[in-house]
Amino acid sequence: MTRSKTSKAWLQEHVNDQYVQRAQKDGYRARAAYKLLEIDEKDKLLKPGLWVADLGAAPGSWSQVARRRMGDHGRVFALDILPMDPLHGVEFIQGDFREDAVLKQFTELLGGRLVDLVICDIAPNMSGMAVTDQARSFYLCELALEFCRDWLKPGGHFLVKTFQGSGYTEYMQAMRATFQTVVTRKPDASRDRSTEIYLLGRGKKP
DSSP 3-state of 181: strand
To the question of whether residue 40 is assigned a binding role by annotation, the answer is no
Q: What is the DSSP string of 3-46?
A: PPHHHHHHHHHHHH-HHHHHHHHHT-SSTTHHHHHHHHHHH---
124 touches 78 (CB < 8 A): no
What residue type is assigned to position 131 of the chain?
V
To the question of whether residue 201 is assigned a binding role by annotation, the answer is no
Q: Is 47 an active-site residue?
A: no
Task: List the catalytic residue out of 5, 8, 25, 161.
Answer: 161
Rounded Cα distance between 133 and 122, Å, is 13
Q: Which residues contact 206 (CB under 8 A, 6 or more apart)?
A: 154
Rounded Cα distance between 132 and 11, Å, is 25
Distances (CA, A) of 16 to 12, 19, 123, 150: 6, 9, 23, 42
- Antiparallel, parallel or unpaired: β 196-204 and 179-185: antiparallel
To the question of whether residue 51 is assigned a binding role by annotation, the answer is no
To the question of whether residue 74 is assigned a binding role by annotation, the answer is no
To the question of whether residue 85 is assigned a binding role by annotation, the answer is no
Catalytic residue numbers, as ranges: 161
Annotated binding-site members? 60, 62, 80, 96, 121
Annotated binding-site members for S-adenosyl-L-methionine? 60, 62, 80, 96, 121
